[in-house]
Structure 1
Amino acid sequence: MGRAEERRARQRGGRRAAPRRSSGAPTGGAASGRAAARRAARRGRTGKGGIRRLFTWKKLLGAALGVCLLGIGAFIVLYMMVGVPQGNAVAQQESNVYKYSDGTILARAGKVNRESVSLEQVPKAVQHCFVAAENKSFYHDAGIDLKGTARGLLNTLTGKGTQGGSTITQQYVKNYYLNQDQTVTRKLKELVISLKVDQQMSKDDILAGYINTSYYGRGAYGIQAAAQAYYRVDAKDLTVEQGAYLAALLQAPSQYDWAVASDTGKKLVRQRWDYVLDNMVEQHWLDAAKRQAMKFPVPKEPQGAPGLEGQKGYLIDLADKQLEAQLMKQEGITQAEAEAEVVGRGWTITLNIDKKKQAALEKAVEQQLTSKLDPEKRKVDADVQAAAVSVDPKTGGIVALYGGEDYFKHYYNNATRKDYQPASTFKPVILAAALDEGATTQDGKPINADTIYDGTSGRQVVDHGTKVGFGPPNEDDVSYGDITVQTAMNKSVNSVFAQMGVDVGMQKVMDVAAKLGMDTEGMQPVPAQTLGSMGASPLEMAAIYATLDNHGKKVTPSILKSASNRSRTADIEDPIGDQVISREAADTVTSVLTGVVDDGTARASVRDNPLRRGQQVAGKTGTSDENKSAWFTGYTPDLVTSVGLFGEDAKTHAHTSLAGATGLIPGSGRINGGGYPAQIWAAYTFGVLDKTSTFDLDTTQGAAVQPSWTPSATQSPSETPSETPTSAPPTTSAPPSESPSQTPSDAPSQTPSQSPSGTAPSTSEPPDDGEDGDGGIFGNRDQLEDRQPSR
């Protein structure tokens, strides 16, 4: 029966297993059992059972212990081999050499500003500031932070930069015995030396070494130099409040320097200052009541170092900052470490600055502006700050820069400051966004140079039938009726671009602004931004217009050509990046902006300038409503230059009006973008260009391809508009581009109370739109969302 059942089972395909045989079954059943056993064994070797036998907890524990023993052994060997080297903090300091693009010397800078003091000369409470800021367990630890060091090693191995913590002892070892290199070898040496230093030196000696070798910014190494640089006192006379600020500085010296810090930088350093004092209370080093009564100690104004007078300090300041940023990216070091690695570390830094162009820019500012300023006669003249950045759009190199009257007299670099509003120089960004995004008007018509908008002053902006609560007036409340985008750009009509911004979508506008080169972090995408009510620097505006000039390929202006020292060479990134907006969009904006020069707000200073010689120019003026800033950013195919004038109270440094400066009649004597900024631009640009060139544009739109005026080298600079537009009701059709005999926009005539000297093409501020939109009608730009424009 058994064999019969097996046969039937096989015939049924094994759907029913044959019954088991007893131990005394025939040989065939035994063979089947052995085969099954072999199959089970194979499954055991390849299945979960085999994995469990391979990775048992005993084997894993043994492997882990083996790795630990190897690590301990390796560390013992390393500990025995690595000794405490001779200190080299002073030996590491060497002057940096800065050169023009042609290799000639610009300056030597970096003479060590250091004077070591004993710990007894530093008040105990000030000593505690540094411990509270950097390493609360300093007095009790063994000199190292294993968790922080392990994190730092892991970050280095994975290329994530330096995010691990280090003790005061480790930082002292890095400053005095080693360097800022971010390698595993250096970090392991730092660990070993820190342990040995902690055993061989007292905590007071380590703390003294740390505060005497750290870099505090303003070229100051050590607490004595820092006390003098920031508070004009010796270290022994520092208060707790001042000591807490110096301790806070060590995290990011330049960013936290109150004299040049952005609003964000000031907020961060105040938070860091609070952190230091609160930690002191926590450690019972400071009475809580005294802590509550403490006020932030605003540092003194910086003083320039010898050899950095004139424009040199501004050029070196930007070169150092860009090199620091490069090292942070290239080597993964922190900002504080990068600053310590740049200042006085024997770098040979070649700039993109063209010696002849730099001299020409300085001369243009002097002849067109500063020679006309007389602070003794007019208080407002002392409040005028000038800035300019000139960029080669094909290479991205900064070829000339004007940061202020003198680095010794005005430490803040006007060329890189971001606290003034660019006003109508932002309008081309709105048009670029519209063209690149293929945006349409509310009724679905594509936005281009010929699109018709309602230019009525104060017209409420509409978003698909809903008023958005924003209706900016045009300059002097002039209404233009139905006009083309080209004419609206020429005349800088606020109402048109406010509506266009909503048509495109303000988030898209701000996204395109970021692509073009503006720092938009923290900016709200609200309609008021269409008036250029954000903060921006001349360097940023030069970047935006250089990207337009470069047919939409990103230009990130760089002052650095090369940089190297004995230990390494910085990898300077190519300033020319990827295509960020389409060529057609960029070229169309350029074409439209030629109309601003030839038929618009810049014509008196640029179009009619006797130095022009037929050179094709695109550009845009900008004048804030309260006249706190005035701009002209313009370009030729070969050169982009942004010029800004800023009203800054000479004593308080608060923003103030430029009106009346150089003797222009107060009230009507507004400083416009088409005036001194455009005059400086023209004197510089037309003076350094050795050839006449035209734009290579891939577009069928705009004034460059549909001109209403042809440049002529024989045009007299004395030609002025003969009629002034008045408020008018909307027309039913788009007018043609206006002839030069019509006043652009609405600017009042401006007559100086005395004849200015110099070689300006005009003896007064030429007519200009005076445009618009700084948000002066809104007051503080931080309140943009809460306040409405005046009617």
Structure 2
Amino acid sequence: MSGKRRADGPSEKGRKPARGAKGAKGPKRALWKRLLLWFTVLFLSLSLVAVGSFIVLYQSIDIPDPNSDFQTQTTKIFYSGGDAEIGSFATQNRESITFDEMPETARDAVVAAEDRSFWTNRGIDPKGILRAAFSNASGGNTQGASTITQQYVKILYLTQERTLTRKAKEAILSLKIQRQLSKEQVLEGYLNTIYFGRGAYGLQAAAQAYFGVPAKDLTLGQSAVLASVINNPTRFDPANGPDAEQRLLGRYQYVLDGMVEAGDVSATDADAVRDALPEFPVIEQNDTYGGQNGHMLTLVREELSDLGFSASEIDGGGLRVETTFTEQAMQAAADGVAEEFPEGFANYYEDPEQNQAEALHVGVAMVEPNTGALKGFYGGQDYLDSQLNWAAQLVQPGSTFKAFAVAAALTDGYSLRDGFDGNSPYRTADGSEIENQGNRPYGRVSLLTATEKSINTAFIDLTEDMEDGPQQILETANRLGIPANDGGDFGIPTESRGLDTNLGVSLGSGDVSPINMAAAYGAIANDGVYNPVHVVQRVTDRFGAVKYEHEKAPERAVSSDVAADTSYALQQVVEASGASGTAAQNLGRPAAGKTGTATNDDGEVSSSWFVGYTPQLATAVTYVRGTGRMQLQGWLPEYFGGRFPARTWTNVMERALEGTEEMDFPDPVFLDGDSGRSQVPQGGGSGSSGSDDEPSQAPSTTAPPTTTAPPTTEPTAPPTTEEPPPTETVEPEPTLPTGPPSGEPSESPTDGGGIFPGANQGRRD
């Protein structure tokens, strides 16, 4: 029987499927296998290289001896030019103590603040290392939540450079230390090394610097404070003001909560100290900070911190910092103030029996218009007596703010010849009546005359006539260098207070610093171009490498024509007969400026100003009393801006400009404008002569104090002036009331009534 006949051709069973036919998986599978093999080989090779490199590094890197290898370097601060030294930020304020000498509350607080897994982790944070590596590779800021061990290694053995190499060394040394030292030894070394601020390295020095006690006597609250400031000693040091104190309280409570969570303290003990920080006694300052040096060094430290230098770099990085200050300008400020300082007021801070809160304060600031460099200043009393720098404090500027209204108006299409209502009273659109002081009428006056005589009602008329006038004035001031209320990235300080869009904004109802006023006037002097004010010019490390160098960043604030006409108007305040700033004529060279006074809620003058400039230097001078809101009128022998402030300005500028070329201002343009207002020739106006900033008759006198103590009773008559008696007696110009003083001058007063309803809205209490 024959079998089944096989068909011609090869068997289907052994035939390979055609390329591309369904089921043809062989070549693809082979390619996939080859790629997998390649990646596996590559991964294993890289892993072997990494492991090998790690082993080599681990074997080659030894743990240094912290007692011999840890050497911080003193940072030195120099005047402009880099030759004369101002002072230094020293670091080696350290006294090492043993683990047992460290109170348990301090040890537990630091663990709760810096590394809550300290007692269980292996010394490194792998996630933090990867995060830092990615950030460095992408050009961002270094990231990572370092353990206490990592922080100890970085500070004790490594540099502050932000590189992958440094991070790798940090990880290896952390692992080695974790294997070779006990947790107690690591924590002891860390607490003897870490920076706590105030120049204090280690727990023992920090306890002395903040509380004046040895570390062994620290309380629970004090321990929590010291643990809190490690995170950012500048930001959390309560000596840096109310904001820093508030930030510290939040961090302090976080630390206490961590201690309770870890079972280190009971909730009852933590609650007993949780709601308030412990008392901070007054710690005697080093003599290096005596006189104005402390104020200079404080400004430098703050700017270095703002520039991104860490506290440990500033105090221990061996930096060489060249500032903008000159010895001539600093001495000019101090000598100019001393020459004009009223007799009987100079020694309040030297006499412990006197009420220091009622001392007379003078703030002076000198800014170079074409660079923004703060060349010199006078902050007030010796830094060792008072750490408040009145050149940087916020004070009501009064009519000195009118310069910004002039610039805003000229920008908006007005001209110096445009006429405004200088009569008194003036009725606003909402029916309010505004009066010049003494209800003095001036008739219809040009903007030039209104500036020269500082006529309040004319400026109210101007502000009301401009579209969104208050907003335009504030925006112009901001462009010229006056920071906004909510702060920004320029200015010293970087914020103002109470600069609100009310109709009386040009009368100076907000609070600004003398430094920022000088910088803003300097922008007008500099052809309308603002350069950010600054105090740090150049920073190099201990090897001479440049870490920072200031670069000019000019911004046009107003046009050249507007700047020229504004300068011309401000020159008339100094040059015109009967104007308020004629004392500045004694400088003997072209000058422009503006006087100003501000009043408190009782209608009493509480600050007195003169701000002015030559083409190469802008200077602001302010006189205040006590907290900055207290009465000058009837207490200071003369209280108008054209008196002590203008004379002080002249004396300061004369010394500061000695040896410099006398320069002229550019000619005015006399912009035509298109406001539609009828124009008034200069000198026009049918009202009285004189200035609304100054009395036109010498009032009855009250003798100035003849001892170092302030008057014990308020005089019943205004103080003596030196003006010849023309026709009538008037009160000083008004500004919007701000409320009674409360606490330090950096705090806002409570809101109070004013000339304009809601003028003080938005102030912080």
Q: What TM-score do you get using the length of structure 2 for normalisation?
A: 0.77
Query: Which of 732, 753, 758 is 2:703 aligned to?
Result: 753
C-alpha contact 2:326 2:376 (8 A) present in aligned 1: yes
Is 2:303 the partner of 1:322?
A: yes
Is 2:130 the partner of 1:150?
A: yes
Is 2:640 the partner of 1:672?
A: yes
1:538 corresponds in structure 2 to 514
Q: Which amino acid aligns with 1:431?
A: V
Is 2:354 the partner of 1:356?
A: no
> How far apart, in 2, do the equivalents of 1:312 and 1:578 lie?
31
C-alpha contact 2:320 2:541 (8 A) present in aligned 1: yes
Query: Which of 343, 347, 351 is 2:319 aligned to?
Result: 347
Matches within 5 A, 1:712-727: none
TM-aligned CA deviation for residue 635 of structure 1: 0.4
Matches within 5 A, 1:417-428: 417=393, 419-428=394-403
> How far apart, in 2, do the equivalents of 1:144 and 1:458 lie?
74
1:629 corresponds in structure 2 to 607
Question: Per-residue displacement from partner, 1:738-764 (whole Å, max 9, x unpaired)?
Answer: 89993311545564513889xxxx985
Query: Which of 744, 758, 768 is 2:691 aligned to?
Result: 744
> How far apart, in 1, do the equivalents of 2:186 and 2:438 lie?
66
2:524 corresponds in structure 1 to 548
Q: Which amino acid aligns with 1:369?
A: F
1:587 corresponds in structure 2 to 564
> How far apart, in 2, do the equivalents of 1:478 and 1:674 lie?
19
Query: Which of 395, 401, 418 is 1:451 aligned to?
Result: 418
Q: Which amino acid aligns with 2:380?
A: G
Q: Structure 1 residues 104 and 125, CA, compared in 2 at 3 Å: closer, same or farther?
A: closer
Is 2:456 the partner of 1:500?
A: no
2:738 corresponds in structure 1 to 776
TM-aligned CA deviation for residue 542 of structure 1: 1.9
SS in 1 for 2:610: strand
Matches within 5 A, 1:642-653: 642-649=620-627
Identity between Structure 1 and Structure 2 (%) = 30
Query: Which of 516, 529, 533 is 2:480 aligned to?
Result: 516
> How far apart, in 2, do the equivalents of 1:577 and 1:454 lie?
37
Is 2:193 the partner of 1:231?
A: no
C-alpha contact 2:404 2:506 (8 A) present in aligned 1: no
TM-aligned CA deviation for residue 131 of structure 1: 2.0
C-alpha contact 1:96 1:343 (8 A) present in aligned 2: no
Q: Which amino acid aligns with 1:489?
A: T
When the two structures are aligned, how many residues end up with a matched partner? 677
Q: Structure 1 residues 675 and 698, CA, compared in 2 at 3 Å: closer, same or farther?
A: closer
1:411 corresponds in structure 2 to 387
C-alpha contact 1:346 1:566 (8 A) present in aligned 2: yes
Q: Which amino acid aligns with 1:217?
A: G
Higher deviation after alignment, 220-229 or 522-531: 522-531
Is 2:662 the partner of 1:692?
A: yes
C-alpha contact 1:79 1:192 (8 A) present in aligned 2: yes
> How far apart, in 2, do the equivalents of 1:380 and 1:742 lie?
41
> How far apart, in 2, do the equivalents of 1:315 and 1:428 lie?
29
TM-aligned CA deviation for residue 124 of structure 1: 1.6
SS in 1 for 2:287: coil
> How far apart, in 2, do the equivalents of 1:544 and 1:581 lie?
11
> How far apart, in 2, do the equivalents of 1:496 and 1:204 lie?
74
2:450 corresponds in structure 1 to 488
SS in 1 for 2:482: coil
Q: Structure 1 residues 786 and 413, CA, compared in 2 at 3 Å: closer, same or farther?
A: closer
> How far apart, in 1, do the equivalents of 2:409 and 2:34 lie?
63
TM-aligned CA deviation for residue 407 of structure 1: 1.8
SS in 2 for 1:542: helix
Q: Which amino acid aligns with 2:234?
A: S
> How far apart, in 2, do the equivalents of 1:737 and 1:58 lie?
96
> How far apart, in 1, do the equivalents of 2:144 and 2:736 lie?
43
TM-aligned CA deviation for residue 683 of structure 1: 0.8
Q: Structure 1 residues 153 and 493, CA, compared in 2 at 3 Å: closer, same or farther?
A: farther
Q: What TM-score do you get using the length of structure 1 for normalisation?
A: 0.75
TM-aligned CA deviation for residue 303 of structure 1: 3.3
Is 2:376 the partner of 1:400?
A: yes
1:10 corresponds in structure 2 to none
Is 2:413 the partner of 1:431?
A: no
> How far apart, in 2, do the equivalents of 1:53 and 1:697 lie?
82
> How far apart, in 2, do the equivalents of 1:755 and 1:783 lie?
28
C-alpha contact 1:494 1:773 (8 A) present in aligned 2: no
Is 2:554 the partner of 1:577?
A: yes
Higher deviation after alignment, 565-574 or 734-743: 734-743
Query: Which of 586, 591, 603 is 1:617 aligned to?
Result: 591
SS in 2 for 1:571: strand
SS in 2 for 1:414: coil
Q: Which amino acid aligns with 1:581?
A: V
> How far apart, in 1, do the equivalents of 2:204 and 2:722 lie?
50
Q: Which amino acid aligns with 2:478?
A: A
TM-aligned CA deviation for residue 73 of structure 1: 5.0
SS in 1 for 2:209: helix
TM-aligned CA deviation for residue 120 of structure 1: 2.8
> How far apart, in 2, do the equivalents of 1:245 and 1:598 lie?
57
Unaligned 5+ runs, structure 2:
1-17, 487-496, 673-677, 708-718, 724-728, 758-765
Is 2:31 the partner of 1:81?
A: no
